[in-house]
Structure 1
Amino acid sequence: MELHDLKSIAVSIVLVTVVTWAWSVLNGVWFRPKKLERYLRQQGLKGRPYRFMYGDFKENAMMLTEAKSKPLSLSDDISPRVLPFPYKLVKDYGKNSFMWYGPVPRVTIMDPDQTKEIYTRIHDFPKINTLSPVSTLLGTGLVNYSGEKWTKHRRIINPAFHLDKLKLMLPEFYKVCSEMISKWEKLASKEGSCELDVWPYLVNLTGDVISQTAFGSNFEDGRRIFQLQTELADLTVQVLSSSYIPGSRFLPSKTYKKMKELEKEIRGLLMGIIKNREKAMKAGEAAKNDLLGILMESNFKEIEENGNNKNVGMTINDVIEECKLFYFAGQETTSVLLAWTLVLLSKHQNWQARAREEVIQVFEDNNNPSYDELNHLKVVTMILYEVLRLYPPAVMTPRAVNQETKLGNLSLPAGVEVALPILLIHHDHELWGEDALEFKPERFSEGISKATKNQVTFIPFGWGPRICIGQNFALMEAKMALALILKNFTFELSPSYVHAPNKILTVHPEHGVQLILKKL
């Protein structure tokens, strides 16, 4: 074959490759999205027209920036500030609407029956891996897995969150909560009251509870890990809030270098704890009754019963990722729940008084409440549920559609996503009544089923097989902390408090929670 022929073949191959690549890109960012848009509109779904490549990204970002610049009063709906674009989308186009997540259409689902289906049919609507490469430094773990890996991890982790195990952790809950109360008492000791931003105390409280209950005798190492994780989370939010360029994490940067150093130190500390626990277990020592000990014992049994191969049990790296997740799932959820509870009880003094009366009546002179006593706090439970309804920690749950799937009267093509806007569902007047935006704990006086009319409309922890594994842990910790605060203090909002719910990982109080505490 002549050299000229070889060159012609090479050029042809290059041309075919370039054309194929260009078609693939053009199809992904234009033809396919337009085809999906026509399909969705034919079914009566409404939304903004697709914009090349970016979809609704720019408008979403602009609306978030604008929303954060506006003041908010305690009686306002937080949805326009926390989820401004989805809120306006539903307002303009109705509940049967969709937005563009870049070139991917994301269908809003607010119907209770369809919501139930999505949460139940976990294989038809799998978890979307929304973690950016930067976010993975914080940890992956159970909440980000799907398929067989999720099934295996859930089975192994389940025993750590059984109620009988959680009951054994109550002394640790009490100990850490009491330490925070003592600090507040000292600050208020001279005049009997003080003005205090309680937000950092609540963050440290929930971090210490996780450190104590997850690592037990390794509490100091656990506390150090929490401090490092907090620093890493702050840097991650900082990076994700700026204009993030794909691949930029590989470029020389002080921030990325620091993040990698922090992750390396966290991993090293966890590896040391886990290796020591492994040695002790192999030497025949009983597993400790902390979260890590129970998790490792469960994992050890899984491997023993099913054979020691790469597909059975969790690797050390898997255990490390789950430990990192313990911090974020537990610390984030409980700290924001307590923060918004104190804010709302400061505004609604009648409910604060009712809850305090119940705590004093149930606890009597017992300073170290048992599980049964916590379980008898009906008013406190009603309040916590209502706070979770008005201020759910997670505000949106996206799910993938990988093949054409029926959902009620909808036929969803492969390549679209569905989104459950938890915050909008919780605030929906059609589902909750005209008083949906009002703080009314009495709506939960007969339990969740009665309040929701047996519909899937209260979903602060998700629902179905993937419901948050740590919900009982979070609620038990919140009850303990709130009960001790009520027993020792009255509180009201300080004039310096600025109401600014802000979605970071969960819905944080952007400027803290300034209260005036008075000792009882």
Structure 2
Amino acid sequence: MHLNFRFLPTKRNVSCWKLDRGIKKSLKKLIERRRSNCGNKMQGNGAKDLLGLLMEASNDISVNDIIEECKSFFFAGKQTTSNLLTWTAVLLAMHPQWQVQAREEVLRVCGLRDIPNKDDFIKLKTLSMILNESLRLYPPTVATIRRTKVDAELGGYMIPHGTELLIPILAVHHDKAIWGNDANEFNPARFSGGVARAAKHPIGFIPFGLGVRTCIGQNLAILQAKLALSIILQRFSFKLAPTYQHAPTVLMLLYPQYGAPIIFQPLSQI
């Protein structure tokens, strides 16, 4: 007999269940407060944030569905995007020539506006290349799982219906047969012709998965990363602290094992 310990009332599980109930209760209060502020007619009147958009579609989804969607976006999107920003900052600190190029592009496109707008992000080609290369070298999620719906042949092997297959994203992104001899090196220029032409295989770049189960938040993650990096590059130059130790490690996601101490210096002081 196989026990699934997730359903046993262990001390850890009881604590997690209590936290989950608290989060759901808080989100429900937030939804009720938003509804009372906007009245019964949400269509077109709500705030244009994630919660507002979900509530405008509330005729098609329940309150519990709205709560679960908010949880998914917050928990699935927070740490992964944070990791993307961390690794990108580390790489730009390691490769100052790319940091300079990215800053020059941001200042040329965005100027010194406090908050760059969405039209600016489309023009930030160098920053897009850098983010893609960061996602290639250090994808926040190192693997994903797919299940076969029918019997299939893969690489000369028969895969029965219902088999779960592990797709090692990190290994694919470092495969020299797909990315060339410099697969382990930081080279954003490989994305200069776009994602489709960067690798020798058309789907060699899969930081967000692929197909109908691709990450629903990938566009939001890239938008957040571009916004944060643009604001940082407008204001600061940065380098790795002497205490930095390069040791990527997997704890569900791909982290720098000893953190990422980075020294920031305001551009106004340079």
Q: How high is the TM-score relative to the length of structure 1?
A: 0.48
Instruction: Tell whether 2:257 aligns with 1:514.
Output: no
C-alpha change, 1:246 and 1:283, in structure 2 (3 Å) is closer
Counterpart in 1 of 2:53? Answer: 294
Alignment RMSD (CA, Å)? 2.3
| Selected match of 1:480 from 223, 227, 238 | 227
C-alpha change, 1:265 and 1:514, in structure 2 (3 Å) is same
Describe the SS at the equivalent of 1:374: helix
Describe the SS at the equivalent of 2:216: coil
CA distance in 2, matches of 1:445, 1:329: 29
Work out whether residues 6 and 13 of structure 2, in 8 Å CA contact, stay in contact via their aligned partners in 1: no
CA distance in 1, matches of 2:172, 2:83: 19
Counterpart in 2 of 1:421? Answer: 168
Counterpart in 2 of 1:495? Answer: 242
Matches within 5 A, 1:78-477: 246-247=4-5, 250-251=8-9, 253=11, 255-278=12-35, 283-285=40-42, 286-300=45-59, 302=60, 314-401=61-148, 403-407=150-154, 409-453=156-200, 455-477=202-224
In the TM superposition, what is the alpha-carbon distance from 1:437 to its structure 2 partner? 0.3
C-alpha change, 1:283 and 1:409, in structure 2 (3 Å) is same
In the TM superposition, what is the alpha-carbon distance from 1:455 to its structure 2 partner? 0.8
Q: Percent identity?
A: 43
- Flag structure 2 segments of 5+ consecutive residues without an equivalent: none
Could you say which structure has the greater relative contact order, defined with CA pairs below 8 angstroms and 6 or more residues apart? 1
Describe the SS at the equivalent of 2:202: coil
CA distance in 2, matches of 1:480, 1:468: 20
Describe the SS at the equivalent of 2:27: helix
In the TM superposition, what is the alpha-carbon distance from 1:501 to its structure 2 partner? 1.9
C-alpha change, 1:356 and 1:248, in structure 2 (3 Å) is closer
Aligned residue pairs total 265
Over alpha carbons, which structure has the higher Rg?
1
Deviations 1:382-411 (A, max 9, x none): 100000000011111112235423446442
> Per residue, is there more helix in 1 or in 2?
1
- Flag structure 1 segments of 5+ consecutive residues without an equivalent: 1-24, 26-52, 54-244, 303-313
In the TM superposition, what is the alpha-carbon distance from 1:423 to its structure 2 partner? 0.6
In the TM superposition, what is the alpha-carbon distance from 1:415 to its structure 2 partner? 4.9
CA distance in 1, matches of 2:260, 2:201: 35
